[in-house]
């Protein structure tokens, strides 16, 4: 199952700074696409497998809880 993770660019940048380039989570995140919504809010979106999203969520919980909430919301949205 594929998940589109969406998070504000500030959270994305903070989480990416915490992630070493050799980690699999980095490879998932670095392919993100920057978007601007109708409210002019800049977000980053990236596609990953559910398993990758869960690993990224575990990493985010340890390093950047705000980013973890964005990942949780994206997983939950997919389950609906």
Range of the domain at 22: 2-79
* Tally of structural domains, the chain: 1
- Predicted TM-score of the model (pTM): 0.87
Q: How far apart are CA 40 and CA 80, in angstroms?
A: 26
5-42 pLDDT tens trace: 999 999 999 999 999 999 999 999 998 999 997 778 99
> In this structure, which long-range contacts are made by residues 25-28, counting pairs with CB atoms below 8 Å and at least 24 apart in sequence?
25/52, 25/55, 25/56, 25/59, 28/52, 28/56
pLDDT at 47: 94
Tell me the pLDDT of the chain averaged across its residues: 92
pLDDT at 17: 94
């Amino acid at each position: 199952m594929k998940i589109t993770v969406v998070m504000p660019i500030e959270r994305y940048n903070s989480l990416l700074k915490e992630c070493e380039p050799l980690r699999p989570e980095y490879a998932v995140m670095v392919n993100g696409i920057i978007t601007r919504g109708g409210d002019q809010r800049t977000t980053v979106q990236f596609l990953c497998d559910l398993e990758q999203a869960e690993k990224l969520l575990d990493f985010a919980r340890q390093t950047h809880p705000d980013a973890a909430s964005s990942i949780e919301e994206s997983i939950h949205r997919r389950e609906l």
